[in-house]
Amino acid sequence: MEKLRILIPKGRIYDNVSRLFSEAGFPLSLADRTYRPLIGTNSFPASWLDAKIMKPQNVGELLELGSHDAGFTGTDWIQESGADVVEVLDLGFDRVRIVAAIPADTCETALKSSGIVVATEYVNLAEKWLKTSGYNYRILRTYGATEVFPPDDADMIIDNTSSGQTLKDNGLKIIAALLESSTRFVASKAAMANREKRGRIEELAMLFKAVLAGRDRVMLEMNVTQEKFDGLVSGLPAMRSPTVAPLCGSDGFAVKIAVKKHEVPDLIPRLKRLGAQDIVEYDLRKVVE
């Protein structure tokens, strides 16, 4: 079978994508100054995958051009490039907002009465928003550290932010949010039209979803007497139904349930009140739903 050509993002997204691959069973290793990571281990390489490190800004367009089959990038860069790709899975991490910000002591209304300089990496997104908002503007393309441009070199910036703290630290205030973005697993239309490649992409997506679901849940295991069994089971928030097995040499049962992590602090005391004994909590690596 032809290899699945996949793009791994460089920069801040890399760590989360690398961890995702590792937890899915395909650890990434990358030698210094190289752009071709090994996927898998020396003993058990994922020989059907061919990976390359690229900036997330380029991923969408490269997929559309057909030189690669799948990859990872943010919604912001997909919309900025206008790339015609298939979104396979929203991975939910590296969440940012694309915002317009101006110096904190500047009046937004005053900016619309004169020509302004707008510094941004998001030229196309900025152009669309500025036109719609009625500004007379000139765009200055930046290549990182956009927040340092005002007030000397720009009147406004359009940039990504997670908390907004960096903007505040640089004396800026947010006046509008253009969109929200997170890391997506995306594929080329050509790859999704190929039965074998689509199958491989969907298998990866299934494993990634299982990892993400596993991160959000834990397994609770407990014992309960036969007398209190019905009351305990009726109070369980199981995914579907609990796993139950009789205890050897006893009239009781061993019960297992997978629950959301945020439920645990309230759930364990409640289970104890319902008669649960010997409660054990442990992490899950994957949950295939």
What's the confidence (pLDDT) of residue 1?
67
Flag whether 289 is in a domain: no
Domain-embedded: residue 288: no
10 and 87, same domain (yes or no): yes
pLDDT of residue 240: 63
Distance of alpha carbon 289 from alpha carbon 286, whole angstroms: 10
Domain membership of residue 245 (yes or no) is yes
Residue 28 lies in a domain: yes
pLDDT for the residue numbered 236: 83
Q: Are 211 and 283 in contact (CB under 8 A)?
A: no
Which of 21, 89, 20, 6 shows the shortest CA–CA distance to 53? 6
User: Which pLDDT belongs to residue 154?
Assistant: 94
User: Are 23 and 211 contacting, i.e. CB atoms less than 8 angstroms apart?
Assistant: yes
Residues 55 and 198 in one domain: yes
Is residue 196 within a helix (H) or strand (E), and if so which, with residue range? helix 195-215
- Do residue 223 and residue 166 come from a single domain? no
Q: Are residues 53 and 190 in the same domain?
A: yes
Choose among 189, 124, 121: nearest CA to 159: 121
Where in the sequence is the domain holding 34, given as residue range(s)?
4-92+182-214
Is residue 35 predicted with pLDDT exceeding 70? Answer: yes
Residue of 143, 116, 138, 112 whose CA lies nearest to 127: 138
CATH number of the domain that residue 239 is part of: 3.30.70.120
Q: Are residues 105 and 156 in the same domain?
A: yes
- How many contiguous H segments (helices) and E segments (strands) does the chain have? 10, 16
- State yes or no: pLDDT of 239 exceeds 60: no
Dihedral angle of Cα 263, 264, 265, 271, to the nearest 10 degrees: 110
Question: 35: which residues sit within 8 A by CB, 6+ positions away?
Answer: 52, 53, 54
pLDDT tens for each residue of 45-71: 788 899 999 999 999 999 999 999 999
Instruction: Say if residue 168 is in the same domain as residue 187.
Output: no
What pTM, to 2 d.p., does this model score?
0.87
Residues 85, 28, single domain; the answer is yes
Average pLDDT, the chain: 92
